[in-house]
Amino acid sequence: MALEFDDITFRYGRRTPVFSGLSLTVAAPATVLLGPNGAGKSTLLGLAASQLTPTAGALGFNRLRPGGRKQAAYRKSVAWIPQQITSVPGLTVREQVAYAGWLKGMSRGAAWEASATAIERVGLGKLADTKSHRVSGGQLRRTGIAGALCHRSELILMDEPTAGLDPQQRQMFRHLVEELSPTVQVLVSTHQTEDLAALYAEVIVLDQGTVRFQGSPAAFQALAPDATGDRERAESAYTRLVGQEI
């Protein structure tokens, strides 16, 4: 399965295009998207999620394209977890997860049944009956991921999922990515370089709407052979590509 961008152009209003003729294929089980602020990472995920529409060009996932009669099928296959997850007033964690499945076209019964498995998979089983507005930021993000699993997404897009999380919450997120990637394709936009080699099969570096690098973590770290340690090599390689610290 592959997420494909074919000669994509996109701009906000009359501004300078964020992308101009971008072509990119994302096919690895777990891919990390790096880049400075303003590089186009969130815009790329918004296009992939069909929340934004390209000015020109086309995109698709697993032979599905957003828009038209296939829009519902595309959105069921591709889930977007934005940086800020909003709790639904009055709903418990499980109810919010089931609601996400219902919004994607599942029956209420099927969504409710699937929600139990989904929240267990992300480690929220003990909070199933807790009101979603009472859980922590990290738990709310896992609630969003559970919603994507509820309707059996094949690709989950995550925008800065570890921003603002404490070390323990980041560790739980890393375990979650490890558990998901064998069965669900994951594309994560982040500024975190910890465990890059252990978690991801592919690294993409985006800068000014252009792909500066796409390849394995080993090839990425090889750009900084003089650095010591995985994190130091990743940060040094990144700086060589875009000239800006993460």
**Domain ends where: 103, 132, 153?**
153
Let me know whether 237 and 176 are in one domain: yes
Cβ–Cβ < 8 Å for 200, 32? yes
Let me know whether 238 and 184 are in one domain: yes
**Within a domain: 203:** yes
Let me know whether 179 and 162 are in one domain: yes
- Is pLDDT above 70 for 53? yes
Domain at 30, CATH number: 3.40.50.300
Cβ–Cβ < 8 Å for 159, 82? yes
**Within a domain: 74:** no
The answer to whether the pTM exceeds 0.75 is yes
Lookup: tokens for 190: 């982040």
Edge to edge, the sheet with strand 19-26 lists 19-26, 3-10, 56-61
**Domain ends where: 126, 153, 180?**
153
- Is pLDDT above 80 for 128? yes
**Within a domain: 54:** yes
Let me know whether 165 and 245 are in one domain: yes
Residue-wise pLDDT for 133-166, tens only, equals 999 888 998 899 999 899 889 999 999 887 777 7
Let me know whether 235 and 191 are in one domain: yes
Q: What is the mean pLDDT of residues 180-202?
A: 87
Cβ–Cβ < 8 Å for 216, 46? no
For residue 202, the surrounding DSSP H or E stretch is: strand 202-207
Q: At 6, is the secondary structure helix, strand, or coil?
A: strand
Let me know whether 226 and 184 are in one domain: yes
User: 121 is in which domain, residue-wise?
Assistant: 86-153
Lookup: tokens for 60: 């698709």
